[in-house]
A and B are shown apart, each in its own frame.
Chain A
Amino acid sequence: MSRPAPNVGVFHFSRAALDAEALRRALTDPSCGGYAAFEGWVRDHNEGQRVRHLEYEAFEALAVREGERIIAEAVARFGIAHALCAHRVGDLAVGELAVWVGVSAAHRDEAFSACRYIIDQVKHRLPIWKKEHYVSGDSGWVNCERCGSAHGSEAGSRHVGGS
């Protein structure tokens, strides 16, 4: 069902800036009347700290497999036509696009639902880590430094809607 963009799978990592317009174009389809996308951007603050830049690291082999599974689940669950997700790795500055999810479908309802499902599951399940470098000179791996916090749970939902 889901159609990959040229030369990339439905989930991929990128060391270079993401081209949202090219990703969007790969989802166009005359049978689709609805399109929804989510962009996660690098925010300049988190939990009271001012963020200077971010570093993303991924266990890419497993994350790509799991990302493809999430998209297959979204296709099966919501009956959408196509979905794509791209995630950055490496150093990112404030304001940069960190993650992009796009969905095209016959109608808007399933496009919205599937888009939300994909970003939530990506945050929750994919072996991707984020190190924040703060204006104070400090740095820390998000969700790891005060670890009592269990996998996913709170950590997965807290940042949904912004990266």
Chain B
Amino acid sequence: MSALPHSAAAPPVYGLVLAGGRSSRMQRDKAALSYGGVSQLERAMALLTPLVTRAYVSVRREQRSDPLRDRFEQIIDVEEGVGPVAGLLAAQASHPDVAWLVLACDLPLLDAATLTHLLRARAPTRTATAYRSGHDHLPEPLCAIYEPRSRAALAAYVASGKDCPRKFLLSADTELLDQPVAGALDNVNTPEEYERVMAALQRPVPAELRHVTVQYYALLREQAGRREESLTTAARTPHELYAELSARYPFSLTPQVLRVAINTEFRDWSTPLAEGDRVVFIPPVAGG
């Protein structure tokens, strides 16, 4: 559960949530679909933002001032008519030296564990890192990391008249991973699929977000570079929250040597987090 192995040579990872689609099969804006009162786009950004250096939303030019989209940093499509690849091309053009974690915004079952595993298992020396589909074992292109080296290959691929990101990953040097959470990448394209996922979410499974405040002390304060922060998280327990924060900060202490306090009382690592909780991870003590 320690920090991700950022080798000195690996470029940083920026995040991109694709919200420029036309949602033609859904017949309404997929980014605005709400699950548990939180729109798809907000949910995807909340999952992604803590895990990457910077996070953007990919939009078409005419969507720039849409109220749902204009609260986030945007990257505007340049190419027309090439589907989701347009967002990645524009992102790579704006920041060519970083890796891009590209995320569709129609993944209501996506969870932090799936993203964290993708980042941990990332192969920065290859062209891309992606999950195998749970259905046909082909690469899932819209929850994947594209290294800087993929830019030239992708541009050539599009120039040759092709725009299918899945086939691009098949043709490229792609690291393929098994999904740690089955079904996490099932997407929602039609009203029927939306109904099915809504029904699945009625079960007490994942997907709910909460606002928590984390206070840092001693070594953790130094490693986080802050005393306190408020965040929106999908983490359900302090254990999941620490895993999320470990992906972000170079924490050297493992949960085995830490204790947890919630709202000024010692608690278990598996205590369910509630809205508004104040969480403190307690390094080994040395009073007296």
Decide: B288 and A99 in contact? CB cutoff 8 A: yes
Q: How far is the CA of A99 from the CA of B285 in the complex (A)?
A: 15
Interface contact tally, CB-CB below 8 A:
98
Binds A, one of B100-108, B115-123, B125-133, B213-221: B213-221
A-side interface size class: 35 or more
* B280 within 8 Å of A (CB atoms): yes
Knowing A141-B218, A148-B257 touch, does A59 contact B287 (C-beta < 8 A)? Answer: no
* A135 within 8 Å of B (CB atoms): no
Decide: B215 and A59 in contact? CB cutoff 8 A: yes
Knowing A59-B280, A150-B256 touch, does A144 contact B288 (C-beta < 8 A)? Answer: no
Residues in B neighbouring A12, C-beta threshold 8 A = none
Decide: B284 and A149 in contact? CB cutoff 8 A: yes
Most buried by A among B215, B266, B282, B287: B287
Binds B, one of A19-27, A75-83, A117-125: A117-125
Q: How far is the CA of A125 from the CA of B286 in the complex (A)?
A: 9
* A113 within 8 Å of B (CB atoms): no
Which residues from chain B sit less than 8 Å from chain A, CB to CB? Answer: 215, 217-219, 221, 252-254, 256-259, 261, 264-266, 280, 282-288
Most buried by B among A63, A123, A143: A143
Knowing A59-B217, A59-B282, A62-B265 touch, does A126 contact B254 (C-beta < 8 A)? Answer: no
Q: Taking the nearest CB of chain A, how far is it from the CB of B205, in angstroms?
A: 33
Output the nearest chain A residue to B254 by Cβ-Cβ distance: A147
Q: Taking the nearest CB of chain B, how far is it from the CB of A45, in angstroms?
A: 16
Residues in B neighbouring A65, C-beta threshold 8 A = 264-265
**A and B contact pairs by CB, cutoff 8 A, 10 listed:** A59-B280, A128-B287, A129-B285, A129-B287, A141-B286, A143-B283, A144-B253, A147-B252, A150-B256, A155-B286
Residues in A neighbouring B266, C-beta threshold 8 A = 62
Decide: A147 and B284 in contact? CB cutoff 8 A: yes
Decide: A159 and B280 in contact? CB cutoff 8 A: no
Decide: A144 and B261 in contact? CB cutoff 8 A: no
Q: Taking the nearest CB of chain A, how far is it from the CB of B279, in angstroms?
A: 12
Decide: B286 and A128 in contact? CB cutoff 8 A: yes
Given contacts A124-B285, A151-B285, A155-B284, 15 further A-B contacts (CB under 8 A): A40-B288, A57-B218, A58-B287, A59-B217, A87-B288, A127-B285, A128-B285, A129-B287, A131-B218, A141-B283, A142-B286, A143-B284, A144-B286, A145-B219, A149-B284
Q: How far is the CA of A61 from the CA of B280 in the complex (A)?
A: 11
Residues in A neighbouring B287, C-beta threshold 8 A = 56, 58, 63, 87, 99, 122-123, 126, 128-130
* A163 within 8 Å of B (CB atoms): yes
